[in-house]
Copies of this chain bind each other. A is one copy, B any other.
């Protein structure tokens, strides 16, 4: 397939390389900032553009991989009509964002966190697909199936639920790591101490349901330990509140034993 990438961030970068590796051709990389378009286009052997006037109308697919709240404005600037399939890659943006400007459209949402620093194996990433009609769905699903062994169909509401779940399992989890690191630092200790524990906690749910492997004082209703923890957090009311809320949800009882 001949594809245009609209966006030059982490998703565009990883997706572009995965497509190239599978033998697809990236015709153009668009970014508002020409330098960003240049940098990614170079590694993808594509043309860099920063002006919608120079966008080719001849691609088979157009992949919009920009920030969620910039998708609508990219759609609004697409030349009309386009014969190719226009897709976005976001979790939280409904398919209705395409409005009437394009004929064939849909979503290719890779459920993964991408960062500049780290290469991920695209073939293991679940990809949620949605299409404006059966044929377009099939087209996007085939493209996604080329990159990943885990392609599945879901509607915009389900996709939003995945995105919310991902915020809990990824973004909020990383923030808990951050809280833990700060706590250790406060007592002259290094986050290194917790790295094996962090990895083990994630690995444990690879073949178990999270609720079946819950450990810690809250699930044991060990009030004395929770009380000691709360005392250590005495001067950090926001952490205390998070501790209380999550402990209550885990154990069904409050830190003070109250239901």
What residues make up the interface of A, taking CB atoms closer than 8 Å to B?
67-69, 92, 111-113, 115, 117-118, 120, 124-126, 128, 152, 154, 157-158, 160-181, 183-184, 186-189, 191-206, 208-211, 213-220, 222, 224-225, 228-229, 232-233, 238, 241-243, 245-246, 249-250
Contacts and interface: CB of A to CB of B under 8 A. Distances in A.
Contacts of A166: 180, 194, 197
Given A164-B232, A170-B198, A175-B250, 18 more contacts: A67-B220, A68-B222, A69-B225, A113-B204, A115-B215, A158-B188, A158-B189, A160-B232, A162-B189, A162-B194, A167-B216, A168-B179, A168-B243, A170-B197, A171-B216, A173-B173, A173-B177, A242-B245
The complex is assembled from copies of this chain, and their number is 2
B232 A201 contact: no
A169 B194 contact: yes
Contacts of A246: 172, 175, 242
A129 to B, nearest CB: 13
Prevailing SS type, chain A contact patch: helix
A181 B112 contact: no
